[in-house]
């Protein structure tokens, strides 16, 4: 097995792991972490596309590489926005949860938890 295939398999496992964390972890911050793990798994799968497309004397295909770089930056921007939303929710209501039961009590503002 080549190192590229191995990295791709790790990427596949990371996608599964991140997806699980995204669904099963209740805390929003943990969901953001899980989403990032999932995203980096996708990037790794893309990375092996780059390595397998190595041609023209290059060790790695530049096109997928450039797209992964773009992806990392966009993933960061999305994470930062998500973190800001969670912190704002926490500031406003004193808790950071996405659970619908937590908001059924008529405790005033902050009902738009999304």
Residues 46-65 that bind other proteins (CB under 8 A): 47-63, 65
Nearest-angstrom CA–CA distance, 8 and 52: 11
Output 55 or 106, the one with its CB closest to other proteins.
55
Q: CB–CB of 50/60 below 8 Å?
A: yes
Output 63 or 111, the one with its CB closest to other proteins.
63
Min separation Cβ 106 and other proteins, Å: 18
113 binds other proteins (CB under 8 A): no
In the chain, which residue ranges form alpha helices assigned H by DSSP?
Answer: 3-24, 28-52, 62-93
Q: Show the site string, 28-47: x = touches other proteins by CB under 8 A, - = not.
A: -xx-xxx-xx--x--xxx-x
Min separation Cβ 53 and other proteins, Å: 3
| Residue ranges in 62-81 that form contacts with other proteins under rule CB under 8 A | 62-63, 65-70, 72-74, 76-81
18 binds other proteins (CB under 8 A): yes
Q: CB–CB of 110/89 below 8 Å?
A: yes
84 binds other proteins (CB under 8 A): yes
CA distances, 105 to each of 2, 31, 69, 97, 100 (Å): 56, 24, 44, 14, 10
Q: CB–CB of 53/33 below 8 Å?
A: no
């Amino acid at each position: 097995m080549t190192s590229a295939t191995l990295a791709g398999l790790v990427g596949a496992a990371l996608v599964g792991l991140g997806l699980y964390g995204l669904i099963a972890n209740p805390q929003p911050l943990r969901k953001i972490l899980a989403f990032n793990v999932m995203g980096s798994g996708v990037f790794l799968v893309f990375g092996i596309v780059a390595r397998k497309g190595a041609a023209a004397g290059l060790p790695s295909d530049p096109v997928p590489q450039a797209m992964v770089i773009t992806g990392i930056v966009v993933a960061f921007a999305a994470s930062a926005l998500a973190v800001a939303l969670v912190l704002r929710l926490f500031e406003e209501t004193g808790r950071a949860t996405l659970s619908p039961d937590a908001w059924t009590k008529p405790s005033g503002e902050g009902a738009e938890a999304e």
